[in-house]
Amino acid sequence: MKIEILKEKENKPLARKEIEFRVDHTGTTTPSRADIRAKIMAQFNADAAAVVIKKLDTTYGIGMTTGVARIYSTPEQMNKIELAHIQKRHEPKKKEGAE
């Protein structure tokens, strides 16, 4: 899986960096949101609690996925701005039977 950054914009009023990217996953399955998030975090040296994958778009049969990520300056800033269902989408999955 290779991530190519298409556009990077600093949004100072919202204290975040907005990134448009393309993932080349030719010959393999579509990567999960968590896998892409981990790569973005590593590439930008960002805090896991402050990174949101806002949108993913996979084109059938090509092995390419485009998307939008947002990297906030702090997790608190992310919690103020992002909607609850977007934040819930990035929570770690709970295993069945575990409480």
Write the pLDDT tens digit of every residue in 35-94: 999 999 999 999 888 999 999 999 888 889 999 999 999 989 998 988 888 888 877 766
Q: What is the DSSP letter of 82?
A: S
In a domain, 95, yes or no: no
**Domain span including residue 69:** 2-89
> Is pLDDT larger for residue 31 or for residue 85?
31
> Residue 21: pLDDT above 80?
yes
> Using 50, 70 and 90 to split pLDDT, how confident is the model at 96?
low
What's the total number of domains in the chain?
Answer: 1
> Residue 98: pLDDT above 60?
no
- Whole-prediction pTM: 0.83
Give φ, ψ of 12 to 5 degrees: -65, -40
Q: What is the CATH number of the domain that holds 15?
A: 3.30.70.330
Place of tokens 């939008």: 68
In a domain, 72, yes or no: yes
In a domain, 57, yes or no: yes
In a domain, 15, yes or no: yes
Q: What is the pLDDT of residue 97?
A: 54
pLDDT digits (tens, 9 = 90+) for 78-90: 989 888 888 888 7
In a domain, 32, yes or no: yes
In a domain, 98, yes or no: no
In a domain, 63, yes or no: yes
CB within 8 Å of 40: residues ≥ 6 apart: 3, 19, 21, 46, 51, 53, 69, 71
Q: What is the pLDDT of residue 57?
A: 93
